Structure 1
């Protein structure tokens, strides 16, 4: 019976900020999975340095030697992230640990990210777990191009939205109730919500047990003898916010829940998204909406145990 074991297959699509890079790092380090591909969208980080950083991450940390190439998205936003936030992709791409061996060897995909996603799903040996830590636009475009790919998707883990009424978008064209990944392209959220994909949603309210604070940074620093910890520590050292700003491990929790669902406490809800007006991008509870598994709480101790186990592999 042991010979019948089949590794779970994953595909990640992210938008190139520190938490996204650490999410990709965790998937590269994980055992007993197969990573089929990675797409990078021009969201919370500038896409070109983010693609290059993923090539270098693959060169350095692809422990399973998965056959990987990095797909650059050509999707465009309805609402762009603030430019200051997006600069982190350049800084991360310049880190010495990613550049000590020169130019990256991992290739870029010849296909834009939404078509690369279709290609990898169609070639998969089994239904694939999608991890998306940025906007849903590439998945929405893939569904519009090839609706039948829903049959090749086991489930989606998405960092996005908020169902407790608070958001993190503070601009003149929004009412502050939206989460940024949903606000980037509200229509894409609706397209995915209208599909039959099983959705696991990690919203703004999902990771309050996992702040990016001094304690977490010190934990990473104390284990910097491991290259993956060293890289993560350097990455999170770049995130400097005002004392009143609360930042949490939203993207990393999304990835860890995909790998280890037992980390999360969940609630079955139905939800929809507003696509017009000042509330465009707001995700709401809706009795007539899409069935969603909402992460409501994370087990901090179990999260840290699994997180450490992965990053200590190299």
Structure 2
């Protein structure tokens, strides 16, 4: 039985990740929390609670709202889709929300639930590392009960996706949001698996994938996935939307979907390369996902989504 705490930053890919995570077999999810990074936090928490209501299989879950703030905020235009996702009729048909919101902010909720777990916890984070870094700063012994961290973030061998004034474009956004938080986690003794742009770039959101989900609308979870991704389109030149967070989430349960290797890495915390993660001889070891078995990955999404209403 795997024990998981999930911290996400509320955009479409994060919410689809939550939906799929809820379907993992032999898994005890001890906590869910959301931070307003690539989203606005209020609709992110609201949509998370509704997804758990509709597709969850545990009766003890609650959703914690983060009060963490950015060093560098995501573009507003990227963050707005969470409002629309939260308004989908399928999530609001019942007219009520029963999954509670946690009393404590996300970093303290994470700290409390991980330390109280009888089993070591797999931490899955598909947004910035700020809440985990804050939990470590409050009580460094939290790391004693973390089996492994799976993080969607960084860019080791390819360009970043930050295009902001004064930045050189070498960083990935989850790292750029709070570079010091990445450094705090990197300086800890937590075992880390990094699912960075190097591998997520291998699973783009394509018209064929949208059509694949459209043809399976009879499954409510797949219908929600298709509606969710209908909100995201990349209109900038040479820009593509990828399944960044879904890949990270599925790898935490199904490592056979990818190929990985051990590398030594570090992070730059300030200056024009702030948030850049890079390979070096003098950093710390992480498991680095290098490639994806894409067909198996997409099949696993469908398999889990079909399981949601069983």
TM bin, normalised by shorter chain, reads over 0.9
In structure 2, C-alpha distance between the alignment counterparts of 1:218 and 1:244, rounded to whole Å:
22
SS at match of 2:197: coil
1:129 maps to what in 2?
A: 122
Q: CA deviation at 1:66?
A: 4.2
SS at match of 2:200: coil
Q: CA deviation at 1:33?
A: 0.4
2:279 maps to what in 1?
A: 285
The count of residues paired between Structure 1 and Structure 2 equals 307
Structure-to-structure mapping, 1:157-172, within 5 angstroms: 157-172=150-165
Runs (4+) of structure 1 exceeding 2 A deviation are none
1:93 maps to what in 2?
A: 86
Asked if structure 1 preserves the Cα contact closer than 8 Å seen for 2:151 and 2:248, the reply is yes
In structure 1, C-alpha distance between the alignment counterparts of 2:146 and 2:268, rounded to whole Å:
25
Asked if 1:207 is matched to 2:200, the reply is yes
Q: What does the per-residue CA deviation read over 1:149-186, in whole Å, with 9 as the maximum and x for residues that have no partner?
A: 11110000000000014111101131111100000000
Of 259, 268, 272, which aligns to 2:253?
259
Using structure 1 for the length normalisation, give the TM-score. Answer: 0.96
Asked if structure 1 preserves the Cα contact closer than 8 Å seen for 2:74 and 2:173, the reply is yes
CA RMSD of aligned residues (A): 1.0
1:4 maps to what in 2?
A: none
Structure-to-structure mapping, 1:74-153, within 5 angstroms: 74-153=67-146
Using structure 2 for the length normalisation, give the TM-score. Answer: 0.97
Which runs of no fewer than 5 residues in structure 2 stay unpaired? none
Q: What does the per-residue CA deviation read over 1:257-277, in whole Å, with 9 as the maximum and x for residues that have no partner?
A: 001011110021011000111
In structure 2, C-alpha distance between the alignment counterparts of 1:22 and 1:241, rounded to whole Å:
18
Structure-to-structure mapping, 1:240-279, within 5 angstroms: 240-242=233-235, 244-279=238-273
Q: What does the per-residue CA deviation read over 1:30-70, in whole Å, with 9 as the maximum and x for residues that have no partner?
A: 2210111111001000000100000101100002x241000
In structure 1, C-alpha distance between the alignment counterparts of 2:202 and 2:159, rounded to whole Å:
17
Of 37, 48, 66, which aligns to 1:54?
48
1:3 maps to what in 2?
A: none
